[in-house]
Amino acid sequence: MQSRPPILVVEDDRVLRQVEVVLDPRTSPERAAAFATYVAHDLPDWYAWRDALRAKLPHLHPAEVRLVDSQAALRQALPGADGVVVESLEIGPEELALGSTLKVVQKFGRAGKNVDMAACAARGVQVLDLRRRTNIALAEHTLMFMLGLARRLPYVNHLVTPERLQAAGITPLPYDTRHTASANFGRITGLQMLHGRTLGLLGFGEIGQETARLAHAFGMRVLYNKRHRLDAAEEAAMSVTYRDFDALFAESDFLSVHVPSVPATRSLVDARAIGLMPQGAFLINTSRAEIVDPAALLGGLQSGHLGGAALDVLYDEPDTEDDPLLGFANVLLTPHIAGASRMNGLADMDDMLRNIQAALVR
């Protein structure tokens, strides 16, 4: 290991900025305090966690961290760097030539096509990836939403006494248990299973792929749509089938949104798209609220065309009491918690930095 502090070039986003806070002593106290506040409900003493992680990183802390927010900035920052962390920025022959001292490329997530594996291998640069716990948690939350909607959980929760059933407009009628069981004593209709149903994934990045794995365990058929279709071998390995945008909506009993929020995806799920969905289908959004047109969503629920919806991302965060979505018994709303707890992201950061250190000292 060189005598100077290591230099890491890191793609600048609101998660990866924590690399700077942990490793670079030049980071402003204000940014450190912001992260401490961000995780305080799950980790009251973030500073103790940071110091404990630093103790595990004697060859990596302190470091110079260069945050970059574009491909051009990445290229400008690479000369002299020992490692680079990217999520969506590209690492190819040009970047590797500029980063002639690079020893490691860390993909923040699973290995993707933005990192040229062959070019890295040819230059002896180790490539690391990370199966992010946050993405797994998001997929689990999506499946929770699907199960909750299929089993009418928002409606049936607490409907377990005659008084509550009557208040909900249900007249409890006893079964003749001399001859039959007493299951579903509330006589709740419209209960569904996931098994044998079709899940459509709008977007098929890492979270979509994690969701597909879980859906298969429930016996679901999984369709997907993304800008660049997978090759046949990849589709077969993941047991998924490609559909164009219209066909995805038309064939999905459950449609789950997993595309990023960019200008092109704003109101991508509009009234036309919702109208393509089968009568009674369910719409789930754990990505960003603005991808689903709010008037179209409300119209689909009011008309009964949608069987229900579930959102972890809201049009106002926190929401307001006059939000009409709060009035639907077939709508699940959660306060942007799908990736929680914060310990998921902290554990991801711990793993990633220790793996980078190991690559630099090998």
- Active site amino acids: 288, 317, 336
Closest of 11, 88, 23 to residue 50, by C-alpha: 23
Residue 352 belongs to what H/E stretch? helix 342-361
Tokens linked to 199: 């899940």
8 Å CB contact between 291 and 259: yes
**Two structure tokens written together for 360:** 């630099």
Give, as one character, the DSSP assignment of residue 334. Answer: -
DSSP 313: S
Question: Does residue 348 contact residue 134 with C-beta atoms inside 8 Å?
Answer: yes
Provide CB contacts within 8 A for 340, sequence distance 6+: 42, 137
Using CA atoms, how far residue 215 sits from 6, 83, 144, 204, 247, in Å, is 42, 36, 11, 13, 19
Q: Copy the structure tokens of residue 319.
A: 């929401």
Q: Give the integer Cα–Cα distance in Å for 58 and 62.
A: 8
- As a whole number of angstroms, the distance between CA 176 and CA 187 comes to 14
Contact 101, 80 (CB under 8 A): yes
* Listed residue (294, 203, 218) closest to 248, CA to CA: 203
Q: CA-based Rg of the chain, rounded to a whole angstrom?
A: 24
Give the single-character DSSP code of 324: G
Cα angle for residues 226, 230, 236 (degrees, 5° grid):
125
C-alpha separations of 220 from 195, 197, 235, 240, 246 in Å: 5, 5, 15, 10, 20
Residue 71: strand, helix, or coil:
helix
